[in-house]
């Protein structure tokens, strides 16, 4: 079956600790991407809030509820008649004061179509002095999400997930043709690993990878790497934004996915371990 190309945008933001300001910025950048033809717009992890964990817990919303963040994302999707992947926001879990870190997919009618709770939480102490313990204030997700967007199967992941190739292999096994990574990668780890990890995930799964990132300073002690990317199934970077707010955009063509998979049928060559 022939599926028309899907124009996808990955938005790059420098979100801070005021939800209202961040939602205005996200809405503006989303509208600009739609004006450039995007039918699916991916927002980065922390698009609505990048600040202390106490503030993050305070803004957590019920999944599918009428909270201000979800309401604005649904409104944007409905207003522009596009799919919106709102990547990485606090969603109430069953554990008090430990919301999920969730990506929510809204359809062109504003309905919530799918959601994903981050599986791998970022607990690190880096040589540059950065100490992050995401699991201290966030609940672990427990399932894989692949959703249909205009005839194309979209796998969803968040930031640190990109270091775990088994997640992406499972997305491919469930039919993924595009892998969306929404992220707030630290500047230090981004300089070292961002490009190689994302290109590896594209090559291994033979999927397009669409990576929406945070960039710049978020308060006095946190910096993110930027470099939002779109990568084709051969591992070639087709669009990149180094720094600053904006977006990258590209057409996702399923024939490109099928061509790569025909030439290099690695999934058919897998052997049991």
Return the active site residues.
Answer: 45, 118, 159
| Contacts of 258 by beta carbon, 8 Å cutoff, 6+ apart | none
* 3-state helix/strand/coil string of 121-135: CCEEECCCCCEEEHH
Among candidates 16, 45, 48, 10, which has minimal Cα distance to 29?
10
Q: How big is the CA angle at 119 (ends 116 and 120), to the nearest 5 degrees?
A: 140
How far, in Å, CA of 123 to CA of 112, rounded?
30
How far, in Å, CA of 35 to CA of 46, rounded?
24
Conformation bin of residue 102: beta by default, left when phi > 0, alpha when psi is -120 to 50:
beta
| Contacts of 205 by beta carbon, 8 Å cutoff, 6+ apart | 168, 169, 171, 172, 176, 179, 233
Assigned token pair, 188: 């230090």
How far, in Å, CA of 180 to CA of 118, rounded?
13
Question: Do the Cβ atoms of 237 and 231 come closer than 8 Å?
Answer: yes
């Amino acid at each position: 079956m022939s599926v028309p190309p899907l124009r996808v945008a990955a938005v790059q933001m420098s979100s801070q600790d005021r939800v209202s300001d961040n939602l205005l910025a996200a809405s503006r950048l989303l509208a600009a991407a739609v004006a450039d033809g995007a039918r699916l717009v991916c927002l980065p992890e922390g698009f609505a809030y990048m600040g202390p964990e106490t503030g993050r817990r305070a803004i957590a919303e019920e999944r599918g509820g009428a909270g201000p963040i979800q309401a604005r994302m649904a409104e944007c999707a409905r207003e522009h008649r596009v799919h919106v992947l709102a990547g990485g926001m606090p969603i109430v879990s069953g554990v008090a004061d430990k919301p999920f870190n969730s990506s929510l997919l809204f359809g062109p009618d504003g309905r919530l179509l799918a959601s994903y709770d981050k599986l791998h939480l970022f607990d690190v102490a880096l040589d540059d002095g950065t100490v992050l313990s995401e699991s201290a204030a966030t609940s672990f997700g427990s399932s894989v999400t692949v959703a249909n967007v205009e005839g194309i199967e979209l796998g969803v992941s968040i930031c640190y997930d990109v270091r775990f190739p088994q997640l992406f292999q499972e997305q491919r096994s469930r039919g993924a043709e595009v892998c969306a990574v929404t992220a707030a990668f630290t500047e230090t780890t981004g300089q070292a690993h961002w490009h190689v990890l994302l290109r590896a995930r594209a090559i291994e799964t033979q999927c397009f990878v669409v990576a929406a990132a945070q960039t710049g300073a978020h308060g006095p002690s946190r910096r993110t790497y930027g470099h939002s990317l779109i990568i084709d199934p051969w591992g070639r970077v087709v669009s990149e934004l180094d720094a600053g707010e904006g977006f990258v955009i590209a057409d996702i063509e399923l024939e490109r996915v099928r061509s790569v998979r025909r030439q290099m049928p690695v999934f058919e060559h897998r052997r049991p371990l």
